[in-house]
């Protein structure tokens, strides 16, 4: 086991870290992170529109449409915000102007969607006496700008910023005289790249009539299916994240940057199903892991933190005491390095095993409909039962599952904890003896 952990640290971690630190993946991660506050706030309007309490939900039902507008303008336009954020980050990583990169990426993304004008239909409808059917001019179909457009946004970001970089590095830009203020010259610098990007996408989307959005969705459909609705979508991320953590690497930060775009798409699909009053389809967006599996943080360590508090070992008890409260709020790094769980051949086993077991149990419970699915992005520092309650939009059975999972994690950690505790007690004893005999200088 010790050798194995060494192997992870030396052989497995570097390529994974390299992948996660890859420029474009980093831009995706940072761009998406910049939209998270909007997604969290927006998804809370989903809770307000569909509150878990029956009496309350009946009371707000007539206003649901109005309440959902902030949700539609945030989560419903997720890819739009992400296109800007990702373009900004990628441009920055090339030491280009971030705002220019963001704006060009946003334009490239919007060029992939064809606006529509349905005024003729609306006029007919108005004549037929349908309320609210007034001509609105040109409109963008929002369906492409939310989660479904995420892959297109990623492609738009790459196309836009790479063109910007290529033209700039080959000096194909309009140079302004020195006297021109920097902000003005900057916007002129982007003139040629902007023209190239817009004409290219205009040609492909409008003249070749190639639906980039649909094409990408079709490609990613199977990937999405595996990630969101198969047992592998649960097992693989849990295994990789805990594996990396047991070698001391922030697993979620590495693996998450690769899978997060897909997780977000899965969440958004569930959220729009909820908003439309349809059943949710996807089992495993990121929130599934956050609330059902990572109880107390990666490795489902709340169970271990509880065990530590009652340890006979002075040291472990001390670690337990400072770990228990952060653990309730899913912060476990100090505990990871305190116990330590990192590079610990004994505790690495339950650290990987416990989340896998509760992940599989939760997958089964979710797929047969015993517990709720996730549509809402609640802040990750909420205690797990409360977070699960909100994120599932009020699934009581989901809360019960969290409590069961805590018990299961305690049971799995217990034997390994005992072995480790025994070892610590022996060490503590020899230390005391050593101090007494003055050997511990």
Partner 1 sequence: MKVLMVCSGGMSSAIVVKAIKKEAEMQNFPLEIKAVGTGEFEEELKKGGYDLAIVAPQVKHRMDIFKEQAKNANVPVELIVPMGYTPIGAGKVLEQIKKYFK
**Is 17 near partner 1 (CB under 8 A)?**
yes
CB of 9 to partner 1, least distance (A): 10
Nearer to partner 1, 15 or 177 (CB): 15
Residue 161 burial (CB count, 10 A): 31
Binding to partner 1 in span 32-91, by CB under 8 A: 33
Angle, helix 78-93 to helix 23-33, in steps of 10 degrees: 130
Name which position in 7, 14, 174, 180 contacts partner 1 (CB under 8 A).
Answer: 14
Name which position in 5, 8, 13, 217 contacts partner 1 (CB under 8 A).
Answer: 13
- C-alpha dihedral over 347, 352, 353, 354, to 10 degrees? 90
How far apart are the C-alpha atoms of 391 and 404, rounded to whole Å? Answer: 18
Token duo for residue 369: 């409909």
CB of 248 to partner 1, least distance (A): 6
Q: Which residues pair with 138 in a beta bridge?
A: 117
CB of 81 to partner 1, least distance (A): 16
Binding to partner 1 in span 174-193, by CB under 8 A: none
CB of 150 to partner 1, least distance (A): 20
Nearer to partner 1, 330 or 392 (CB): 330
CB of 336 to partner 1, least distance (A): 7
CB of 327 to partner 1, least distance (A): 11
Query: Site map for partner 1, 308-347, x if CB under 8 A?
Result: ----------xx--x---x----xxxxxxxx-x-xx----
- Sequence-ordered list of residues with C-beta below 8 angstroms from that of 321, at least 6 positions apart, any chain: 309
Stretch that binds partner 1, among 14-22, 67-75, 76-84, 146-154 (CB under 8 A): 14-22
Site size with partner 1, rule: CB under 8 A: 30
266 close to 284: Cβ distance less than 8 angstroms: yes
How far apart are the C-alpha atoms of 420 and 344, rounded to whole Å? Answer: 9
Nearer to partner 1, 269 or 286 (CB): 286
Mapped to the 3 state alphabet, what secondary structure does 181-214 carry? CHHHHHHHHCHHHHHHHHHHHHHHHHHCCCCHHH
CB of 409 to partner 1, least distance (A): 20
Residue 95 sits at φ, ψ, to 5 deg, of: 60, 30
Name which position in 2, 10, 21, 427 contacts partner 1 (CB under 8 A).
Answer: 21
CB of 334 to partner 1, least distance (A): 5
- Going by C-alpha positions, the residue among 21, 15, 28, 24 that lies closest to residue 262 is 28
Token duo for residue 352: 């990987």
- Per the listing, tokens 């089992």 go with 283
Binding to partner 1 in span 228-287, by CB under 8 A: 245, 248-250, 253-254
Query: Site map for partner 1, 363-382, x if CB under 8 A?
Result: ------------------x-
Token duo for residue 394: 């009020």
Q: What is the DSSP string of 326-357?
A: HHHTT--HHHHHHTT-TT-TTTHHHHHHHHHH
CB of 177 to partner 1, least distance (A): 29
Nearer to partner 1, 284 or 298 (CB): 298
Nearer to partner 1, 343 or 361 (CB): 343
Nearer to partner 1, 249 or 376 (CB): 249
Token duo for residue 388: 């699960």
- Sequence-ordered list of residues with C-beta below 8 angstroms from that of 388, at least 6 positions apart, any chain: 291, 292, 395, 398, 399, 401, 402
Residue 189 sits at φ, ψ, to 5 deg, of: -60, -35
Residues at the interface with partner 1 (CB under 8 A): 13-14, 16-17, 20-21, 30, 33, 245, 248-250, 253-254, 318-319, 322, 326, 331-338, 340, 342-343, 381
């Amino acid at each position: 086991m010790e050798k194995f952990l060494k192997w992870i640290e030396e052989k497995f971690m570097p390529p994974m870290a390299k992948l996660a630190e890859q420029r474009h993946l980093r831009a995706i991660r940072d761009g998406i992170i910049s939209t998270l506050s909007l997604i969290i706030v927006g998804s809370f309007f989903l809770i307000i529109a569909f509150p878990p309490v029956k009496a309350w939900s009946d009371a707000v039902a007539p206003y649901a449409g109005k309440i959902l507008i902030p949700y539609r303008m945030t989560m419903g336009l997720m890819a739009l915000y992400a296109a800007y954020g990702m373009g900004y980050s990628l441009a920055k990583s090339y030491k280009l102007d971030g705002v220019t990169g963001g704006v060009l990426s946003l334009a490239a993304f919007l060029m992939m969607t064809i606006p529509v004008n349905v005024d003729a239909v609306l006029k007919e409808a108005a004549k037929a006496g349908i309320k609210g059917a007034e001509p609105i001019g040109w409109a963008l179909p929002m369906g492409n700008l939310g989660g479904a457009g995420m892959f297109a946004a990623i492609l738009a970001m790459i196309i836009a910023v790479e063109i910007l970089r290529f033209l700039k590095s080959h000096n194909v830009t309009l140079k302004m005289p020195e006297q021109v203020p920097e902000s003005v010259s900057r916007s002129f610098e982007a003139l040629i790249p902007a023209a190239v990007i817009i004409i290219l996408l205009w040609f492909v989307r409008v003249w070749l009539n190639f639906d980039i959005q649909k094409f990408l969705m079709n490609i990613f459909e199977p990937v999405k299916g595996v990630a969101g609705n198969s047992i592998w979508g649960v097992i693989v991320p849990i295994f990789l994240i805990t594996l990396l953590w047991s070698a001391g690497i922030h697993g979620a930060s590495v693996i998450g940057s690769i899978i997060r775009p897909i997780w977000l798409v899965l969440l958004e699909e569930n959220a729009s199903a909820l908003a439309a009053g349809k059943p949710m389809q996807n089992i495993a967006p990121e929130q599934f892991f956050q609330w059902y599996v990572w109880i107390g943080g990666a490795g489902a360590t709340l169970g271990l933190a509880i065990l530590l508090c009652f340890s006979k070992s002075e040291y472990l008890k001390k670690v337990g005491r400072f770990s228990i409260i952060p653990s309730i709020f899913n912060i476990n790094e100090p505990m990871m390095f305190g116990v330590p769980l990192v590079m610990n051949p004994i505790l690495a086993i339950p650290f990987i095993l416990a989340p896998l077991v509760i992940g599989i149990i939760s997958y089964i419970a979710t797929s047969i409909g015993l517990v709720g699915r996730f549509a809402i992005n609640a802040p990750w520092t909420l205690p797990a039962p409360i977070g699960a309650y909100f994120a599932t939009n009020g699934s009581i059975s989901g809360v019960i599952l969290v409590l069961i999972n805590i018990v299961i994690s305690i049971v799995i950690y217990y034997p390994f904890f005992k072995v480790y505790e025994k070892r610590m007690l022996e060490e503590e004893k020899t230390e005391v003896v050593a101090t007494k005999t003055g050997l511990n200088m």
